[in-house]
Chains A and B, each alone.
Chain A
Amino acid sequence: MSLSWALLVSLGLACAGYLIGRRRAFAVAGPDVRRLHSRPTYHGFSVALTSFIAGLAVMFIATILRMTGTLDVYAGPIWGWIVLAAAILGLVWGATRIDSGYKARNAVERMVMGVLMLCSMIAILTTAAIVLSLIFETGHFFQLYDWKDFFFGTEWTPRFQGESELGILPLLWGTLYISFIALLVSVPIGLFAAIYMSEYASPKVRSFAKPLIELLAGIPTIVYGLFALMTVGPLLRDYFAQPMGLGNSGSSVLTAGLVMGIMLIPFVSSLSDDIINAVPQSLRDGALGLGSTPSETVRQVVLPAALPGVVGAVLLAASRAIGETMIVVLGAGAAAQMSVNPFEAMTTITVKIVSQLTGDSDFNSPEALVAFALGLTLFVITLALNIVALYIVRKYREQYE
Chain B
Amino acid sequence: MSGSGLILAGVDGDRAWGLQDYVARGGYSALRKVISEKIPPETIIAELKASSLRGRGGAGFPTGLKWSFMPRSFPGAKYLACNSDEGEPGTFKDRDILRYNPHTVIEGMTIAAYAMGCERGYNYIHGEIFEVYERFEAALAEARAAGLLGQNILGSDFSFELFAHHGYGAYICGEETALLESIEGKKGQPRFKPPFPASYGLYGKPTTINNTETFASVPFIINMGGEAFLNLGKANNGGTKLFSVSGHVNRPGNYEVAMGTPFAELLEMAGGMRGGRKLKAVIPGGSSAPVVPGNVMMDCTMDYDSISKAGSMLGSGAVIVMDETTCMVKALERLSYFYFEESCGQCTPCREGTGWLYRVVHRIENGLGRKDDLDLLNSVTGNIMGRTICALGDAASMPVQSFVKHFGSEFEYHIENKKCLVPPEVQYEGSQIYVRP
Same complex for A and B? Answer no
